Amino acid sequence: MEFLRTLGADMPLGQVLEMLARVVAAAVCGGVVGIERSRHFKDAGVRTHCMVACAAAVMMIISKYGFTDLAEGMKAADPARIAAQIVTGVGFLGAGMIYRDRHQSLKGLTTAAGLWCVAGIGMAMGAGLYYLAVFATVFVVLMQFIMHRFGIGHYKTYDCRLEAVMKDDPETAARFKEKLRKKGASVSEYSVSRNDGKLTCVVEINASSRSLRQELSEIITADQDIFSMEFKDVT
């Protein structure tokens, strides 16, 4: 308890531990959603979901318990309005960190989530919830280290470009896309062109393994309406 008092915790130990447990539980729940998204090759993965959920929990705790030390005459001033503006303002700052690279992959999501997270930590410090700020800092750094070290939620993808020439028919094109979907290929770019009664489809796909090329080749070449196909690595 003496240690908690030095961190500004003027509340029972049980209540403090419950607050910290809420942060951990929020990060775990966010991570579960992130794992599902990573398995489908989405841009926002485990770390991003964990950090956003963790930051949201910290900010919610600040909103509920961060202003209990105010004098009676000051409570009518609504001090939480500044905290609310910080959440919005840092959100715009984080948006500036997100961009798409030349392969149309989204970058900077985790960095933006990190900015939002440290904004919550700063708010906790400013509100006098020092124990919450210190715990959130250590927890986030430890979480990042573990996920980097053991690759939790990270699924290696192999990008390639597939160019297929087929019969100029809507059913053939729909069948082609359905074959890609059933084999678990995530299409990041799709374009078509017509020439001499033939349809040329160029797709960029993300696959979980290199063997997908062979599997797609066997399935697609079995379709008599698909005349030719060629795979190229995306560099």
Distance CA 49, CA 28 (A): 9
Q: Which residue has the higher pLDDT, 173 or 71?
A: 173
Q: What is the pLDDT of residues 94-124, one digit of tens each?
A: 777 776 666 556 677 777 888 888 888 888 8
Q: What is the pLDDT of residues 164-222, one digit of tens each?
A: 888 888 888 888 888 877 776 777 677 788 888 788 888 877 765 566 777 777 777 78
Whether 140 and 173 share a structural domain: no
At residue 138, what is the residue type?
V
At residue 230, what is the residue type?
E
Whether 14 and 97 share a structural domain: yes
Query: Closest Cα partner for 169 from 137, 201, 138?
Result: 201
Whether 173 and 105 share a structural domain: no
Average pLDDT for the chain: 76
Whether 200 and 226 share a structural domain: yes
CATH number at residue 189: 3.30.70.260
> Whole domain around residue 140: which residue ranges?
2-150
User: Using 50, 70 and 90 to split pLDDT, how confident is the model at 35?
Assistant: confident
Straight-line distance from the first to the last Cα atom of the chain, in angstroms, rounded to the nearest whole number: 57
Decide if pLDDT at 6 tops 60: no
Whether 69 and 180 share a structural domain: no
Domain stops at, among 121, 150, 179: 150
User: Using 50, 70 and 90 to split pLDDT, how confident is the model at 40?
Assistant: low
214: alpha, beta or left? (left if phi > 0; alpha if psi -120 to 50): alpha
Note the pLDDT of residue 114: 83
Number of domains in the chain: 2
Average of per-residue pLDDT across 126-130: 79
Whether 59 and 170 share a structural domain: no
User: Using 50, 70 and 90 to split pLDDT, how confident is the model at 152?
Assistant: low
